[in-house]
Amino acid sequence: QGTRDHPPAHMALRDRLLAAVVACFKRHGAAAIDTPALELQETLMGKYGEDVKLIYKLQDQGGELLALRYDLTVPFARYLAMNKITNMKRYHVAKVYRRDNPATTRGRYREFYQCDFDIAGQFDPMIPDAECLKIVHEILSDLQLGDFLIKVNDRRILNGVFAICGIPESKFITACSTVDKLDKMPWEEVRSEMVGEKGLSPEAADRIGEYVQLHGGLDLIERLLQDPKLSQNKLAKEGLGDMKLLFEYLTLFGITGKISFDLSLARGLDYYTGVIFEAVLLQQENDHVEEAVSVGSVAGGGRYDGLVGMFDPKGRKVPCVGVSIGIERIFSILEQRVKASGEKVRTTETQVLVATPQKHFLAARLKLISELWDAGIKAEMLYKKDPKLLKQLQYCEDTGIPLAAIVGEQELTDGVVKLRDVATREEVRM
Amino acid sequence: QGTRDHPPAHMALRDRLLAAVVACFKRHGAAAIDTPALELQETLMGKYGEDVKLIYKLQDQGGELLALRYDLTVPFARYLAMNKITNMKRYHVAKVYRRDNPATTRGRYREFYQCDFDIAGQFDPMIPDAECLKIVHEILSDLQLGDFLIKVNDRRILNGVFAICGIPESKFITACSTVDKLDKMPWEEVRSEMVGEKGLSPEAADRIGEYVQLHGGLDLIERLLQDPKLSQNKLAKEGLGDMKLLFEYLTLFGITGKISFDLSLARGLDYYTGVIFEAVLLQQENDHVEEAVSVGSVAGGGRYDGLVGMFDPKGRKVPCVGVSIGIERIFSILEQRVKASGEKVRTTETQVLVATPQKHFLAARLKLISELWDAGIKAEMLYKKDPKLLKQLQYCEDTGIPLAAIVGEQELTDGVVKLRDVATREEVRM
């Protein structure tokens, strides 16, 4: 349940998509790593808040207690700590596992790929953070998914807002997860959840509401830096200062047009400590394909300066910032698009079919195809002793093989091969 | 235990290796598929003989009872049956899981990659089987692993031998698994296991011994076809006839020099029904690298005509033959070789470092690197506001970046960039 086989047509499209993402990661100088799909259960505990219940555990068959990884970020942090690495730019493309309620039409599965790029190390503020946003911008532009928006916020700003609105620190995380729902429900509902379920006072909720419904650009940052209450909060002030710096760098990258400083963005995970961001595709009213698949966020990430320290025996911290591309959701969109366009995706790369018009030419075909393979040419033949020529040409058309190399009695006598262009039926002897 | 993280240097080598294997699979016209790492436990039961105890089961957290896949062959058969596919040539590169005793120096892990190529469908005999052997030959030659030998046998011949030696059919599989040990222990020990543990009569064991110690080529096939007892056995005769045909095709492929018809080859798995094969690297006395890593078999496979039928409600069979490349063992050898050679494997592909010799040029660097990225050039910069030029050039040398694009006051004034060849220190303004 919630998993799927990928037939060849999927895989061809998926390989194209992953290649584009990996090309971007490599363009930014990241090295690849891989970690086991299995982690110790204790490694994953206390990292995912309420989502801990979604972790797949393995049966205790003796030995270590294991679980399937839930994301690639926690294994990365564990890897850095275990190997005492304090400085690394890596990407990781691999499957992760979540016992979630699958919503397969929207590209939500229990087994799915994540494509992560992270920068670990102590650097000057906001330079790696800005690069992560540049990467999201490059990938979404490259893939031509239509218009998109990257929402940016900072956990320190959110926490500052909660503090000046009178929320006790112990309720920051739960308040965060409620605010995070603002992209799916109106403020009134979020407010009543805050007051009802989360037990905040109506006044505090209203004060929060005044802030978290704000979004804008550099102008909003400047305004909040002047906000008499917020500017008094140390955390918020730091966050706003860094946000200003971030926007400076994004201006140099020329991408602020697609960036929105959005105070409602909170993101669910516990481990974020600074900048957070999330990219969404914008609905286009005239584009039925996009309407058919409402996909929500297609990339997200942020800064997590405390996670590596949780795995270090001495608690030594390694600041990190990273981005995860929501490849499955993007794949759902591309798949729908290919379907709608009627484009036939080739699932193999075969260049030539070795064929014969006559009986008793299996040996000649085997000899020729062997020569082609040894020369690095992608070649196939039908696995029949005496196939009909029509069937062989039909196979070319069905699978998109552009050429047929034909050997028969005449060709063998003359020591040539007849090369036929399947589409034009043109033939040359060579 | 028995798993490992792959650091960037591993991954770079591994990607190279996988690319060579996948290129060969594509050259032979295979399409890619993927299946979940999770399978229903019932799917895996009754397929692996005694090895069933090595299957990783997931905890019962409600819902289906799941396990991690043990190989890629059973999921492929399940996929064919579920989708009623009777004809397919596919490759699959993915991780599989076995709760085995790890022997990590020899490249044996609990989580490891398999690279499988299989041909499913009803075809004329031995044509797909011959192609599988050609693939093994191509890959092992391409990778330049040194001399190798591909042993070939047929389950029908083995079963025929057991039958004419008076072994009851119920003991064929257990006799098979004992014979399979002949590559690791001398005949005397195998014989005593047969008589002692497996309860065969000493006479039967001796008769088996006369056959299973034979190996050779076409001459041996011809001799056995004349063998008064063996030629009377229907299965053995079929197997020998097909083996002769196989050698004909392998002769046309020009690869019989590396093929040995070896009656001691049995292979452990239950599901093989016809041709079986296994490739081993030959020890080279003067090659210390190979001696250091004794890797055993590096590829194996065979025909399994009954497996798909086990998943079809009506038991409809789809004949299959396939090969699995032992990528982890090959990787261990290549890794040792790289170590021994002192070759430095680059872990990134960065073409140019954007650098500055002066302070206060962060904005200029950000602007330039952004232009480079947008032009598809792989570029990095140090994440410091004011890094020292020496540090920046040192980074190039450490990570193998060939070029530095330098912007300073003079360059900015003149509207140029200074491009420096890191190795030669040559510089051009552009």
| CB neighbourhood size of B228 (10 A) | 7
CA distance A379 to chain B (A): 6
Query: Which DSSP letter does residue A108 get?
Result: B
- Each as own residue / partner, the long-range contacts of residues A341-344 (CB below 8 Å, 24 or more positions apart, any chain) are A344/A400
Query: Is A430:A419 a contact under the CB 8 Å cutoff?
Result: yes
For testing contact with chain B, the best of A370, A377, A401 (most B CBs within 10 A): A370
The model's pLDDT over B55-96, given as tens digits with 9 standing for 90+, comes to 999 999 989 999 999 999 999 999 999 999 999 999 999 999
Give per-residue pLDDT as tens, B406-422: 999 999 999 999 999 99
Q: From the CB of residue B253, how many other CB atoms can be counted at a distance below 10 Å?
A: 21
Residues A329 and A362 in one domain: no
pLDDT beyond 80 at B296:
no
Q: Which residues contact B399 (CB under 8 A, 6 or more apart)?
A: B346, B347, B348, B350
Do B138 and B266 lie in a common domain?
yes
Interface of A with B in 54-73 (CB under 8 A): 56-61, 63-64, 66, 68
Task: Indicate whether A285 pLDDT > 90.
Answer: no
**pLDDT at site A269:** 75
From chain B, the residues in CB contact with A61 under 8 A are: 56-57, 99
Check pLDDT > 70 for residue A288.
no
Max mean pLDDT range (A191-205, A219-233, B326-340): A219-233
Query: Are residue B336 and residue B360 in the same domain, yes or no?
Result: no
Question: What number of other Cβ atoms are within 10 A of residue B277's Cβ?
Answer: 27
- Candidates B38, B70, B89, B246, partner chain A, best to mutate (most A CBs within 10 A): B38
- What distance in Å separates the CA atoms of residue B367 and residue A26, rounded to the nearest whole number? 19
Q: Do A33 and B58 touch (CB under 8 A)?
A: no
Task: Give residue for tokens 């490599």.
Answer: A26
A to B CB pairs, distance under 8 Å? 194
Out of A7, A30, A383, name the one closest to residue B33 (CB): A7
Instruction: State both tokens at A39.
Output: 């982690």
Tell me whether residues A3 and B28 touch, CB distance under 8 A.
Answer: no
Chain B residues near residue A28 by CB distance under 8 angstroms: 373, 378-380
Whichever domain contains B273, its CATH number is 3.30.930.10
**Which pLDDT score, from 0 to 100, does residue B290 have?**
42
Considering CB atoms only, which of B11, B83, B374 is closest to A34? Answer: B11
pTM: 0.93
Does A3 contact B362 at a Cβ distance shorter than 8 Å?
no
Task: Please provide residue A147's backbone torsions phi and psi, each rounded to the nearest 5 degrees.
Answer: -70, 145
Kindly state whether residue B325 falls inside one of the protein's structural domains.
yes
Q: Is residue A272 annotated as involved in ligand binding?
A: yes
Tell me if A100 is assigned to a ligand binding site. no
CA B114 to chain A, closest CA, distance in angstroms equals 15
CB contact under 8 A, B64 and A1: yes
pLDDT, position B289: 47
Mean pLDDT of A322-346: 91
The pLDDT confidence band at residue B283, using thresholds 50, 70 and 90, is confident
CB-CB under 8 Å, A3 with B384:
no
Q: Are B138 and B185 contained in the same domain?
A: yes
Mean pLDDT, range B282-305, rounded to an integer: 70
CB contact under 8 A, B4 and A30: no
Binding site annotation covers A180? no
CB-CB under 8 Å, A97 with B29:
no
Partner A, chain B 345-404, Cβ-Cβ below 8 Å: 347-350, 362-363, 366-367, 370, 373-374, 376-380, 383-385
Other CB atoms within a 10 A radius of the CB of residue B244 amount to 16
Cβ pair A74, A52 in contact under 8 A:
no
Contact between A26 and B378 using a beta-carbon 8 Å cutoff: yes
Residues A322 and A404 in one domain: no
A73 is in an annotated binding site: yes
Residue B212 lies in a domain: yes
Q: Do A31 and B12 touch (CB under 8 A)?
A: yes
- Which residue among A318, A341, A364 closes a domain? A341
**Are residues A411 and A303 part of one domain?**
no
Determine, yes or no, domain membership for A2. no
Q: Which candidate from B1, B10, B57 shows the least CB-CB separation from A64?
A: B1
B6/chain A closest Cα distance in angstroms: 5
Q: Are A274 and A372 contained in the same domain? A: no
| pLDDT score, position B175 | 87
Best of B44, B135, B370 to disrupt the A interface by mutation (most A CBs within 10 Å)? B370
**B198 burial type by CB count under 10 A (0-12 exposed, 13-18 middle, 19+ buried):** middle
* Inter-chain residue contact A99 with B29, CB threshold 8 Å: no
Structural domain of A202: 8-341
Domain count, chain A: 2
DSSP 8-state assignment for residue A165: T
* DSSP 3-state of A430: coil
CB B159 within 8 A of CB B236: yes
Secondary structure of chain B as H, E, C letters: CCCCCECHHHHHHHHHHHHHHHHHHHHCCCEECECCCEEEHHHHCCCCHHHHHHCCEECCCCCCCEEECCCCHHHHHHHHHHCCCCCEEEEEEEEEECCCCCEHHHCECCEEEEEEEEEECCCCCCHHHHHHHHHHHHHHHHCCCCCEEEEEEEHHHHHHHHHHCCCCHHHHHHHHHHHHHHHCCCHHHHHHHHHCCCCCCHHHHHHHHHHHCCEECHHHHHHHHHCCCHHHCHHHHHHHHHHHHHHHHHHHHCCHHHEEEECCCCCCCCCCCCEEEEEEECCCCCCHHHHHCCCCEEEEEEECCCCHHHHCCCCCCCCEEEEEECHHHHHHHHHHHHHHHCCCCCCCCCCEEEECCCCCCHHHHHHHHHHHHHCCCCEECCCCCCCCHHHHHHHHHHHCCCEEEECCHHHHHHCCCEEEECCCCCEEEC
Q: Which chain B residues are Cβ-neighbours of A82 within 8 angstroms?
A: 5
Q: Does B377 lie in the same domain as B336? A: no
Instruction: Supply the ipTM of this predicted assembly.
Output: 0.92
| Whether pLDDT at A143 is above 70 | yes
pLDDT at A84: 97
Is B347 contained in some domain? no
Q: What residues in B contact A32, CB-CB < 8 Å? A: 8, 11-12, 15, 347
Q: Work out the minimum CA distance from B212 to partner chain A, whole angstroms.
A: 31
What mean pLDDT is reported for chain B?
A: 93
CA distance B171 to chain A (A): 30
- To the nearest whole Å, the CA of A211 is away from the closest chain B CA by 31
- The single residue listed with the structure tokens 């261990």 is B332
Looking at per-residue pLDDT, the higher value among B199 and A157 belongs to A157
Both tokens of residue A133?
């946003």
Q: Is B353 left (phi over 0), alpha (psi -120 to 50) or beta?
A: beta
Q: Which residues of A touch B368 (CB under 8 A)?
A: none
Within-domain flag for A26:
yes
Residue of chain A minimizing CA distance to B3: A36
d(C-alpha B249, C-alpha A171), whole Å: 74
Give the separation between CA A212 and CA A224, rounded to whole angstroms: 12
**What CATH number is given to the structural domain containing B364?**
3.40.50.800
DSSP states of A352-395 as a string?
EEEE-SSSS-HHHHHHHHHHHHHTT--EE--SSSS--HHHHHHH
Residue B325 bridge partners (DSSP): B115, B299
Predicted pLDDT at B295: 56
Q: Are strands A88-97 and A31-32 parallel, antiparallel or unpaired?
A: parallel
User: Rounded mean pLDDT of chain A?
Assistant: 93
Contact A131, A119 (CB under 8 A): yes
Is A1 part of a structural domain of the chain? no
Contacts of A374 in chain B (CB under 8 A): 138
With cut-offs at 50, 70 and 90, classify the pLDDT of residue B184. confident
| DSSP letter assigned to residue A57 | B
Contact (CB<8Å) A380/B29 = yes
Mean pLDDT, residues A192-218 taken together: 93
Reply yes or no on whether the pLDDT at B288 is more than 60: no
Binding-site residue ranges of B = 71-73, 98, 114, 118, 267, 271-272
Is residue A187 domain-shared with residue A300, that is, in the same domain?
Answer: yes
Residue B89, token pair as written in the block: 């040539």
Q: Which residue of B has its CA nearest to A6?
A: B34
Q: Has residue A405 got a pLDDT over 90?
A: yes
Mean pLDDT, residues B294-314 taken together: 90
**Assigned domain for B268 exists:** yes
Q: How far does B277 lie from chain A, in Å, by closest CA?
A: 20
Token pair 């030659």: residue: B141
**Cβ atoms of residues A63 and A38 within 8 Å:** no
What pLDDT, on a 0 to 100 scale, did the predictor assign at position A284? 59
A287, pLDDT greater than 60: no
B395 plus B305 within the same structural domain: no
The answer to whether A34 contacts B5, with C-beta atoms less than 8 Å apart, is yes
> Is A376 close to B27, i.e. CB distance below 8 A?
yes
A200 within a domain of the structure (yes/no): yes
| pLDDT tier, A291 (very low <50, low <70, confident <90, very high otherwise) | very low
**B27, B34, B383 ranked by CB distance to A373: nearest:** B27
H helix or E strand, kind and range, residue A159: helix A155-164
Contacts of A367 in chain B (CB under 8 A): 252
Q: Which of B313, B341, B369 corresponds to the end of one domain?
A: B341
| Cα–Cα dist B398/A27, whole Å | 18
The phi, psi pair for A392, rounded to 5°, reads: -70, -40
Q: How close B122 comes to chain A (CA, Å)?
A: 9
For residue A16, say whether it is annotated as part of any ligand binding site. Answer: no
Confidence of residue B284 (pLDDT cuts 50, 70, 90): low
Tell me if chain B has a CB within 8 Å of the CB of A5: yes
What percent of chain B shows pLDDT beyond 70?
97
Domain boundary among A290, A320, A341: A341
Asked if A198 and A208 count as a contact pair (C-beta separation under 8 A), the reply is no
- Predicted pLDDT of residue A295: 56
Count helices and strands in chain A by DSSP H and E runs: 15, 16
Alpha helices in A197-348 (DSSP H): 202-212, 218-226, 234-253, 288-292, 327-341
Examine the pLDDT at A290 and tell me if it is beyond 60: no
Q: Given pLDDT bands bounded at 50, 70 and 90, which one contains residue A100?
A: confident
Closest partner residue to A57 among B11, B59, B383, by Cβ? B59
Of the candidates A5, A31, A58, the beta carbon closest to that of B8 is on A31
| Whether B221 and B320 share a structural domain | yes
Minimal Cα–Cα distance from A359 to chain B, Å?
14
Task: Please give the backbone phi and psi of residue A403, each rounded to the nearest 5 degrees, phi first.
Answer: -130, 150
Kindly report the nearest CA distance between residue A215 and chain B, in angstroms.
26
> Do residues A357 and A333 both lie within one domain?
no
**pLDDT confidence bin for A293, thresholds 50/70/90:** very low
| A38–B31 C-beta distance less than 8 A | no
CB–CB of B28 and A380 under 8 A?
yes
